[in-house]
Structure 1
């Protein structure tokens, strides 16, 4: 894959490639048999005896899933792996079965012409911190005891939560600010500066952690290289999913962030209060709730660890060091690392250096990590594209121009819908609010407020435009891939009036009561369909590449993604009991269909209850020049689905080119002899069709640019409306 400014270019044909991708998948955060709501088996034997073989799906089912994804128009996979999956047994011990499994799945990707970039995934450091990603042994390495994270508020973990089914939605994200994850991220990125006494096996903890992380991901890269999967399948590597600064740059450990849009939910200890609690000291902390304009303080709560500590006892620490062959420097004793470094005094319970972490220049440490990581990957895969992912929400720092062949890979979610699990009649321009576009003071929230469907959709477009522009300015003239974007499918359904007044009423009424709609997820008016359509419209309006979060075959109708109460998978299979029942997966529920079902085919006896209309949209996969604009209108009961695409020739190229557009057969049936069902209009050239499989086809549009290399070439494709079927009894 070549890069031409902000475009990916196919090395063989010179065509611009637009990537419509998906994350495969969230299930890879978890070992087999250990969902985040299961207590049994959690933190047993340092969580060494787990397996991730079969994540994201069993090898014998891979063809079914990859074929489905290809049929749905995806041409890129963000392939999730974790450091834990590779090196869970102990430092330097790699799970060869898992590595072989990954290679075998990637080989199958080649058969479906799917490109892949590898995502070393983590959330709030590890499963033991209430997230995912990094090995359990990293906790005893630094002296932490995950069995006491809950009582000490060092992390809020669903596995040990008293009632896992009532685990507060999105509270897992606050673990980034709690002691366990914050300590580990600080040591990982800047241990040399902040924890010079933490020496293990002759090196600083920062060097120890980073070298093992690099070597673990290199194990994947070695096998990709040895199996001739470089470039033909795997085009690059993400740096690290959603990295975090830990305590670095905190101006005062006795205070919470004064940023009034910083995420806060539930009991929120300051850094110092977290250190007290982790050392077994009862402490009063602030409690926060989430309101329409962000987090709001809601009093204080007394937390009492009842004598437990998040730090290993000297005896338990010694046992771990023997098991994992660690030799600590004598100055690194058991107990709180930050007490040992004189930031506070455990005995007198006093703060000594409240500004210890201030002005740490986290971006400097993160860039150093990025440079070292790039060097490690390219020592094996010399042509790898590095997908640069800075911390979430933040603008990226200025990346050294010595780093080349990059792609900017930030994440973006509609945070209001994600947290509230509700598609509201209002929203907030969070990215530009965060960047200071609306000034200062409380009134800036009103200036950033958007009311009504049209304003919300434009708000999403504006936010992604800002993100893309920041990447061009700071990362460089490289492509942008929104590495995660998606919606919660377990939304509370609400009915809303139309128009501005209706939108304002819907916004006001949503604070007081819910009026439930009878719309099913498969209708154009469902909240899930509206939310996904607004997300994808923002991608298309900015001509961005993306990878939707996510595809999970074992998504559960009760537990969702089986991870912290999230439920974002675009797949949830509903098995049909009757062997006589024929299910067309293009039509999501038997009550609704497109106008023409003549092209319906049976794929399997399992129905995807998540296949909302707006997920299945036409787009140009390969373009014979430079894209100019893309507009997709999802079909409704009153309006045909349509796709309007414009491009221009690449400078210096004057010849006939082919542009390939993906069309889902469900709403754009392949043209019959009389060309009924789908209408095609072109400003130039001619087109042919190639029916690839039952559920999609490729329209190939050929234009001779030699006559007018400055022209804008346009194609418009119109499909079908949605039609309500007669109910069958």
Structure 2
């Protein structure tokens, strides 16, 4: 059972732990940057806290505020009972944004979506992006309720041979992330506006899970010439399968390593890097550069 409710701070399902356990509920609230959604205008330095409606100033604090509200949704499952899974059932941005003085050489839609996706990383939640409409056009938008939130638009689909043609705000919509973690994730940060496309991921190992494999998605969109992997905490080995665009990290699960913090920093390899095989295994003892 998927329970999708309005993101009001006062609204929670009246369910017992027994009901949640028997029915298989998923807590799937919606979460948007309210000012951007309602006014179709994005301001990098101004927003409202989704929970308190207080004014938030500054890009960092806006992202943290929205991320904290998503984390709160996750915490509510404990109060609701049963600790049911959490999914942000809807998040996204209107692409018909008014251009304002905040933007000269930057795309406001790309920046707005980065705030939302950064909040997902801060809140450590999963989300579904609203939405994909195959027939979206610049004139009619999604052709529903006056909305224009589709990540794809037929009017921008100019190259039928390019998988990404027609995509909108892909620079911030497409992101590296942890697909599966052999433990508890503690931090996930992607910086699409940095030249090296830096991605940071940290987790605490849990050997009771029966696996030591953590899998991360590494999109070729951001890493066309491969990646440089640096381990800053813990010990382990990793391999990359570029056909699947996936890095598999295997933490050292010998006695005494349970609960150990593991951290990886992944950056874009330079264009002139030497090419290697598409699959390579390395350990935290090595300096490592993995290329396509």
TM-score of the aligned structures, taking structure 2 as reference length: 0.81
CA 1:461–1:575: 2 relative to 1, 3 Å: closer
Structure 1 stretches lacking a partner, 5+ long: 1-385, 434-447, 497-516, 520-524, 577-582, 586-601, 672-677, 722-729
Aligned counterparts of 1:670 and 1:461: Cα–Cα separation in 2:
31
Q: Which residue of structure 2 lines up, in the alignment, with residue 118 of structure 1?
A: none
Does structure 2 conserve the Cα–Cα contact (< 8 Å) formed by 1:646 and 1:713?
yes
Q: What corresponds to 2:13 in structure 1?
A: 397
Cα distance, 1:712 vs. partner? Answer: 0.8
Counterparts of 1:464 and 1:650, CA distance in 2: 24
Q: Structure 1 residues 410, 454: CA separation in 2 closer, same or farther (over 3 Å shift)?
A: same
Q: Deviation of residue 539 (structure 1)? A: 0.8
Q: CA deviation at 1:565?
A: 1.3
The CA deviation string for residues 502-561 of structure 1, in whole angstroms up to 9 with x for no partner, is xxxxxxxxxxxxxxx554xxxxx3211111111111111111011010111111120000
Please give the secondary structure, in 2, of the residue aligned with 1:450: strand
Counterpart check, 1:664 vs 2:270: no
**1:670 Cα deviation after fit:** 5.4
Q: 1:554 to 1:390 in 2, by over 3 A?
A: same
Partner of 2:276 in structure 1?
none
Runs of 4 or more consecutive aligned structure 1 residues displaced over 4 Å after TM superposition = none
Distance of 1:670 and 1:622 partners within structure 2: 24
**Structure with the bigger percentage of strand:** 2
- Counterpart pick for 1:480 among 80, 83, 86: 86
| 1:720, distance to aligned residue in structure 2 (A) | 6.6
Q: Distance in 1 between matches of 2:157 and 2:74?
A: 41
Deviation at residue 460 of structure 1 after TM alignment? 1.1
Q: Matched residues in 2 for 1:564 and 1:628: separation?
A: 39
State how 1:365-514 maps to structure 2 within 5 Å: 386-393=1-8, 394-403=10-19, 404=21, 405-424=24-43, 425-433=45-53, 448-496=54-102
- Secondary structure of 1:539's counterpart equals helix
SS in 2 for 1:458: helix
Q: How far apart are 1:615 and its partner, in Å?
A: 0.6
User: Structure 1 CA distance, aligned partners of 2:182 and 2:74?
Assistant: 23
Counterpart for residue 187 of structure 2: 629
Please state how far the C-alpha of 1:652 moved relative to its aligned partner. 3.1
Q: Distance in 2 between matches of 1:609 and 1:648?
A: 35
- Match status 1:549 vs 2:130: yes
CA root-mean-square deviation: 2.3
Larger radius of gyration: 1
Displacement after TM superposition at 1:651 (Å)? 5.5
**Number of aligned residue pairs:** 261
Q: How does 1:118-517 map to 2 (within 5 A)?
A: 386-393=1-8, 394-403=10-19, 404=21, 405-424=24-43, 425-433=45-53, 448-496=54-102, 517=103
Residues 432 and 472 (structure 1), Cα distance of their counterparts in 2 relative to 1, 3 Å cut = farther
C-alpha distance 670-709 of structure 1, shift in aligned 2 (>3 A): farther
SS of equivalent to 2:263:
strand
**Quick one: distance in 2 between partners of 1:720 and 1:459?**
33
Say if 1:432 and 1:466, in contact at 8 Å, map to a contact too.
no
Q: Would the alpha carbon gap of residues 416 and 475 (structure 1) be closer, same or farther in structure 2, given more than 3 Å must change? A: farther
C-alpha contact (below 8 Å) 1:396/1:471 kept by paired residues = no
What CA distance in whole angstroms lies between the structure 2 residues aligned with 1:626 and 1:657? 12
Secondary structure of 2:52 counterpart = helix
**For residue 561 of structure 1, what is the aligned residue in structure 2?**
142
The answer to whether the 8 A contact 2:27-2:85 is kept is yes
The change in CA–CA distance for 1:706 and 1:548 in structure 2 (over 3 A counts) is same
Retained in 1: the 8 A contact 2:36–2:93? yes
Residue deviations 1:32-61, cap 9 Å, x none?
xxxxxxxxxxxxxxxxxxxxxxxxxxxxxx
The equivalent residue for 2:263 is: 714
TM-score, normalised to structure 1's length? 0.34
1:685 to 214, 236, 239: 236
* Alpha carbons of structure 1 residues 483 and 475: separation in structure 2 relative to 1, 3 Å: farther
Say whether 1:644 aligns with 2:263: no
Instruction: Measure, in 1, the Cα distance between the counterparts of 2:147 and 2:52.
Output: 26
Match of 2:128, SS state, is strand
Alpha-carbon distance in 2 for matches of 1:542, 1:575: 33
Given the superposition, is the C-alpha separation of residues 701 and 651 from structure 1 closer, same or farther in structure 2, using an over 3 Å criterion? closer
In 1: Cα distance, 2:157 partner to 2:30 partner: 33
Contact 1:642 1:719 in 2 (8 A): yes
CA distance in 1, matches of 2:100, 2:124: 31
Distance 1:666 1:397 in 2: 40
Q: Please, which runs of 5 or more residues in structure 2 have no aligned partner?
A: 271-292
Question: 2:252 is matched with which residue?
Answer: 704
Report if the CA contact (8 A) 1:399-1:476 is conserved: no
- Alignment partner for residue 603 of structure 1, among 144, 152, 162? 162
CA contact (8 A) 1:408 1:475 kept: no
Q: Is the 8 A contact 1:407 1:481 kept in 2?
A: yes
Q: Distance in 2 between matches of 1:714 and 1:528?
A: 31
Q: Distance in 2 between matches of 1:399 and 1:407?
A: 12
Q: Structure 1 residues 608 and 476 mapped into 2: Cα distance closer, same or farther (>3 Å)?
A: same
2:221 counterpart SS class: coil
Is the contact between residue 406 and residue 478 of structure 1 (CA under 8 Å) also seen in structure 2? yes
Greater per-residue helix proportion? 1
